[in-house]
Amino acid sequence: MKSISKTITEASDKVKETMNTAMNKSSNIVSGGGQVKDIGHLYYTDLVPWNPEGGKELHEFYQRLLTYILEFVDKTNDRNEKIVDFHHPAQLMEVMDFSIPDEPQNLDQLLVDCKDTLKYQVKTGHPYFFNQLSCGLDTISLAGEFITATANTNMFTHCMFPDYKKNGLRSLPKGLVMFASEHCHYSIKSAAMVTGLGTDNCVSVPCDEKGKMIPSELERLILVAKEEGKHPYFVNATAGTTVFGAFDPINDLADICDKHGLWLHIDGILAGCNSMNADYLFQQDKHYDVRYDTGDKVIQCGRHNDIYKLWLQWRAHGTNGLEKAIDHMMGIQEYMVERLKSMPDKFHLVLEDPECTNVCFWYIPERFRSIPHSVQKEQMLGEVTPTIKQRMMNAGTLMIAYQPQGKIPNFFRNIISNPAVKKYDIDFLITEIDRLGHDL
Amino acid sequence: MKSISKTITEASDKVKETMNTAMNKSSNIVSGGGQVKDIGHLYYTDLVPWNPEGGKELHEFYQRLLTYILEFVDKTNDRNEKIVDFHHPAQLMEVMDFSIPDEPQNLDQLLVDCKDTLKYQVKTGHPYFFNQLSCGLDTISLAGEFITATANTNMFTHCMFPDYKKNGLRSLPKGLVMFASEHCHYSIKSAAMVTGLGTDNCVSVPCDEKGKMIPSELERLILVAKEEGKHPYFVNATAGTTVFGAFDPINDLADICDKHGLWLHIDGILAGCNSMNADYLFQQDKHYDVRYDTGDKVIQCGRHNDIYKLWLQWRAHGTNGLEKAIDHMMGIQEYMVERLKSMPDKFHLVLEDPECTNVCFWYIPERFRSIPHSVQKEQMLGEVTPTIKQRMMNAGTLMIAYQPQGKIPNFFRNIISNPAVKKYDIDFLITEIDRLGHDL
């Protein structure tokens, strides 16, 4: 019996030991070594770096943070979850405490702040988010951004009229004018303002119905400007316009620029001539090859190292992976256009044959379906478009941007920029917009 | 015996069960539910969002990432760790694979990429990092940046001469000139270039020996410009100059600006008049209060929501906590100045009585100690300064920036901007610079 009793005792000890080992392992993972009690009542001053002994508590804080982050990523990728739990800004002020207190908040409150921030957040990575300026939540790129944030370094960032830098616009010939298509991004006009050229000296060149700059119009306007004694010097061509995703006919524009001695620029503006030679910041007498320094290359001083996450993402995908993603999204665009064309009673494409992944269309509620398409009907559809968007936001099930373009009234601009979007998401989009808008 | 045997079996089962429970708990924490095998051989396509079933694998990937991040934070706050494991850029190219491959890299390789990035990183949060543009690794602010990155949204960001926006600089009076101190940040000259004013039309106003703009010099230069038929319109005052941390005498400058009808600006440049009214992007017919939209307020379009981490940090510290941190750093500056003054053979302050947390000084190697201070001696000390910095970088134990200022040759500019810095870190700094430089 003694030996059996001993066996039982040993087994019992084994249980305890195993539990301890396993729990310690769990604690190791949770807190990087040792046991951690509840940290919620602690303050930032209890954590590294303010408290050099607060390493374990910091690990625990980050573990809890990661839990919330991963919950959000899971929900973002769950098609059964809403894109947004919509609250009007004033309502949001009521459910969340945005105030800046005089006294520190404890870690529990800060974690609640983080959790709530994500809770009321538009899930821009959701497969049903078709607004502009999101391409899904690339989880590798996100990892890269975490590393950049942790590294917490800065990048110190780095012609036709050489006197410009020194003497400004007055050193230039009078009446300088630039040209850009009427569909160009608004930042071009903004640049004309900021550089002191003035928006009136940025001439809008008419586009064809696909949103592409018309070369003969460009040449006509260059000649008009010359006759007026002005100095045409610059043409901004757009490769993929903001609304239609159209590509200006670069080759034709290049021929015209050659002929008249103009600078042809394709999108973006900053290019290599911004150096201020601020040698008090960017010393040339360093003990390593200063060509690797990026400080004096752009007009900002310190800036966030945003390129790192692109690098990590590119390594994860490989060039071939990125190419496949683009091909996939172009395929989804073609599928969507085909589907919308098959339902001419419910949908009208603004552009029949888009060049990029923007699909521009109106949804047609039931009461308009018997009316033949016309400019008047476009006005009516333009008027209901914001109401459909409002219903989307309140339902939180779908997000598509809308806007007018020149004389064309409000229409939906569906951007396919998330490689996680599948054909069945387009099917959902079509069904959902019909559900939300048919009775309007 | 059977009952005993049963007891043993039960105990054994209990062991297994306990192990499983504990391991599952561990796995729960590791991966948010269920068991996860090694993920190293997987690719991004095996993870959410590319693989909707890849949630657990994604959690595991982020757990490993967090391990590396916390290791880096621990090392950053360990005074026994080097600030930098210095490699010349070309060496770095050899030890790390920066290439962009055609085919995807697996998760093991990506995690190695992340780990190596942090390994070769300058630890800007290290207590012995006294260069500019880092204020330690604020672990709460870092949490805020993780949330911002995860949320992955954009902020859409927003007069004396109302015709400027439309007509550009040519609509303005001829000969506009602005004024800024000779110690102002180089971005002021850069702004003069970018806005088309021209750097020659940005007049440098002499400073006193503390780096503060001399009011009588400003008024003299305004009068000179007027006599030359120019139009003075703008004075940029600096609150805390880049090198000396000096504050221009704002009240005196304001009186002069009032008298001559000039616009007085204190630091920064963007201020409220950049709206392009790009209604195709910033619709006014939204169903919520558009005053909360920030899109048309600044010259950028989409931008990173950088304000969030400041908000979270401020909530963690409270206004009082931030005030304490500033007071602490000013105290450290006073301590450092006092210590350097007590060793006039080894250190010479460029500025005896700094106003901000910049401490500017030369270190004096042994062979120069018997020479009385003079302009010639400053030249000699300026010549050895880069060599001391080189030794710091190679040792990886200390980082302090150096630069010339006007006619003053290279000197160290020690920035106290990390609230984690203690008096004993200043003691270390003094001992270490002496160790590295005494024999030069």
The minimum CA-CA distance between A232 and chain B, rounded to whole Å, is 15
Chain B, 74 to 113: residues with Cβ < 8 Å from chain A are 74, 76-77, 88-90, 98, 100-105, 109-110, 113
> Model confidence over B142-196: pLDDT tens digits?
888 888 888 776 654 364 555 666 666 666 677 889 999 998 887 788 788 777 7
Q: How large is the angle between the packed helices A139-151 and B107-119, nearest 10 degrees? A: 10
The model's confidence at residue A438, banded by pLDDT at 50, 70 and 90, is very high
Using alpha carbons only, what angle is made at residue B78 by residues B77 and B81, rounded to the nearest 5 degrees?
Answer: 120
Nearest CB neighbour to B101, from listed A102, A189, A318: A318
Nearest CB neighbour to A44, from listed B105, B299, B317: B317
> Model confidence over A376-413: pLDDT tens digits?
999 999 999 999 999 988 888 888 889 888 889 999 99
Chain A contact set for B167 (CB, 8 A): 198, 200-201
Question: Given 3.40.640.10, 2.40.50.140, 1.10.340.30, 3.30.2130.30, which CATH number is that of A162-304?
Answer: 3.40.640.10
| Nearest-by-CA chain B residue for A125 | B152
Residues in chain B: 440
Residues 6+ apart with CB under 8 A from B141: B309, B310, B312, B313
Chain B, 124 to 163: residues with Cβ < 8 Å from chain A are 124-125, 127, 133-134, 136-137, 139-140, 142-147, 149-154
Tell me: ipTM over 0.85. no
Instruction: Work out how many CB contacts closer than 8 A connect A with B.
Output: 421
| Nearest-by-CA chain A residue for B93 | A292
Alpha-carbon distance of A76 to B425, in angstroms, equals 45
Q: Which one of A44, A61, A185 makes the best mutation probe of the B interface by having the most chain B beta carbons within 10 Å?
A: A44
A4 reaches B (C-beta below 8 A)? yes
Q: Are A317 and A325 in contact (CB under 8 A)?
A: yes
Alpha-carbon distance of A434 to A366, in angstroms, equals 9
CATH class belonging to B310-437 = alpha beta
Are A162-304 and A310-437 the same fold in CATH?
no
The model's confidence at residue B310, banded by pLDDT at 50, 70 and 90, is confident
The pLDDT assigned to A313 comes to 78
Least confident stretch, A140-149, A421-430, B25-34: B25-34
Chain B contact set for A292 (CB, 8 A): 89
Chain A contact set for B149 (CB, 8 A): 142, 145-146, 149
Q: How deeply is A322 buried, as exposed, middle or buried, from its count of CB atoms within 10 A (0-12, 13-18, 19+)? A: middle
> Model confidence over A202-223: pLDDT tens digits?
999 999 988 899 999 999 999 9
Can you give the residue ranges of every domain in chain A?
162-304, 310-437
pTM of the model: 0.71
- Is the predicted pLDDT of residue B434 greater than 90, yes or no? yes
Q: Which one of B13, B280, B300, B407 makes the best mutation probe of the A interface by having the most chain A beta carbons within 10 Å?
A: B280
Chain A contact set for B152 (CB, 8 A): 124-125, 134, 137, 142
